[in-house]
Amino acid sequence: MATNFSSEVIVQLSKLIVQQIKLDSLNEISIQVQNLIDIEVKLQTASLNDEITKLKIENDKLRKDHETQNLQIDELSRAVWTTNVS
């Protein structure tokens, strides 16, 4: 059974098909872009978490050094005070 479509109908159908293909392509591109953004965010988050960990370790070290210096100052102050009192 042969169906004859007018050229106008064929053009309209072609336009609809092309429009749908464009929408499908845009949706696929949008999904791919979002996936790339998600990956980049995860990478940056991991990098920032590593940096935060390093900074926390350095901060702990500096606090311990500061406490040690304060203890040494206290000992020296006591030694000087004891010497002056004697």
The Cα 9–Cα 1 span in angstroms is 18
| Residue 60: its H or E element | helix 7-85
pLDDT for residue 2 = 55
Q: What is the pTM of this model?
A: 0.61
Structure tokens at 14: 């072609």
- pLDDT category of residue 3 using cuts at 50, 70 and 90: confident
- Residue 4 three-state SS: coil
| Average of per-residue pLDDT across 61-84 | 93
